[in-house]
Structure 1
Amino acid sequence: MIAQRISHILPLALLAFSTAIAQPDALPDTPPDARLINALALPNGAYIISAPPSYSTSSSTGEDVVAWSPEALLDGTTTRGWCSASDAPLPLEFVVELSEPYRIEQLRFNTECQQEYEGISAREVTVEFSQESPASGYRTVGTFLLRPQSDTAIRLPAPAGARWVRITIESNHGNPSFTELMEVEALGRPTSAAVPAIDITGRWETNWGWVDLQQEGSNVTGHYEYRNGVIPQGGMERRVVSFRWVEAEANAEGRAVLVVNAEGTRLNGIWCHGDDITRYGFWVFRRSPNSVGTGGNITEERAVEGLKQELESKGRAIIYGINFANNSADILPESEGTLRTIGRLLKGNPSLHLLIEGHTDNVGTEADNQRLSQRRAESVRAYLMARHNIPPERLTAEGRGEAEPIGDNAFELGRAANRRVELKELRNE
């Protein structure tokens, strides 16, 4: 989320969806609304369609965002930002596609630039929303006058619909060669809480070669071209796909969290080594014309074996694909494929005893999240006992609440990664 303090907020009366330049007024610090999603953040599934000439670029296969690249403008942090190429002519335009239609409630800009060059920070910035296409149907939200070395929060007078966002930097504070802007956010909520069923089974072309996915309910498995990688376990919650990847020949493994766009034609998100998704690279999937019928070809036996190997090597396994009703411990029917894999693992290894841990994101109070995580862990235990005949003495349930995040709660993808079940092997001492 944009830096910790917000030094200016725009008065509502000045936001009349016009091109008049609006001057922010100073207000006390205003914390971001934790219920809102930064729809412009690349880790939340946004996709840059076009960008102006830039000082640097991020590698499609890099493990981190490169400072001064277009991606650094939308990475959700002000520790790095965007800079134009030398002598790139103003105006400078970005077009960004959101993962799905949103109702935007706030805009945020950060101009706390590195002051190597006087007058380098963006001054006038125009923001437009379209619900029609990347090239047409834009409606001007406003042209905003940004002060140097400041965070600026802009609260819209009413939520505004957007699927595409056009950001145009009209001027800077006088530098003749370069323009910098550290971060832009558009905070809102998806237009529709309900999501039509999307099946991601099939072949996808990505910046790491092809990937074949297989989906059953919320359970996701697959394999991919790069280093003969496999996806032994994963899950889908709403539009968010989370999975573990393994490249045995390189002795490498990690996590990926991606968002499926509204059309089901692209997945866009992040990957990491190990379990820490706060340091990440980007992974972009596009459906292949040969998508139908390829599938992931990961058998349930292979999924069980992958889960067993993770428990043996780490003593723990992060599980995705066990979905619950909102703010509830009721397990959704789509979770059966994932739970069946766990049940088969236990039946095939009669001496195995598991601790089932429930984890949440940080939305809500710490006490409520602790109680919810405990109830969800107990629901998983009860399900395995009732539906898969696992003896109760082999299963222990424990809630961990929001205490052990593996992702950044500032992002929807990070929060999705944190809402998880973990299995830990209980060994007799």
Structure 2
Amino acid sequence: MTRLAFGTLLALMPALCQAQELTMAPAARELSERISPLDNYELPIAGFADGTVPVRRFEGLVARRTFRINGASATTLQLLTPLREQLETMGFDLIFECEDRSCGGFDFRFETEIVPAPDMHVDVGNYRFLSAVREPDNAISVLVSRSGNAAYIQTIRVSPVQQQNGGKTKPATVAAAPNGELGLALERDGHVILRDLEFDSGAGGLLPGQHASLGQLASYLKTHPEQRIALVGHTDSTGTLAANIALSKRRASAVRERLVNNFDVDPSRVDAEGMGYLAPVGSNLTPQGRESNRRVEAILLPAL
């Protein structure tokens, strides 16, 4: 499908505009996507004062996304400005914007919802925040921070649920392949980290959960019958290489089993492998780095 020109997008109906997402810089790598079909979000509308952060509560489909730009030299203002301009083009009204100290520094950061590390990191002395609303029930916040030679971006967006079946409310459907973000990232980068998977410490079993990433991955495979993938487990550097390779493969195999049994994916199209600590994405000298290294990735293999 060809990409619509920017001017054409502006002329389309409002329903399509609601489906638009912010376009990040080319160097930005998505770290996480957490989508709750029906949830609430307390949108900050002012800085920290009198022991609290004033908020406005929204309900609907809540999408929490984080991104990282390695080797970033741009300031937080340079990173935030194009995102603010996109929101204005999409019809959002900016209701609050602040910079670290004017936000409330440490207090604002810890009174505001932040996606847990390692998917988001906030330097309390170097961040910017904005919140915007498109009435009556669309809202978004954008948080940008720099730490060392990396920049982090978090967006939390609330969209209204769809009205179907004679007025009964049905949660909006999370985007799925071929147009889902996970499928697009898989084709663009050749691999994607499945960040919403959880395992017991030192164990290979996948804990129960909705696991939106597996739903999108299964949808992608069903709509692309020629494609196949490998699930690859990774660990931090604690312990021996042999033990970590075994653990990482058990975790990848548990994810494969969940895809096959819960999402009806053809087992012949999914391999499971373990790399142990041989392919880190962060430093094993820090807790944040070790946490980011403990992951399962989906890798796109040559088509059948």
TM-score using structure 2 length: 0.49
Larger Rg: 1
Higher strand fraction: Structure 1 or Structure 2? 1
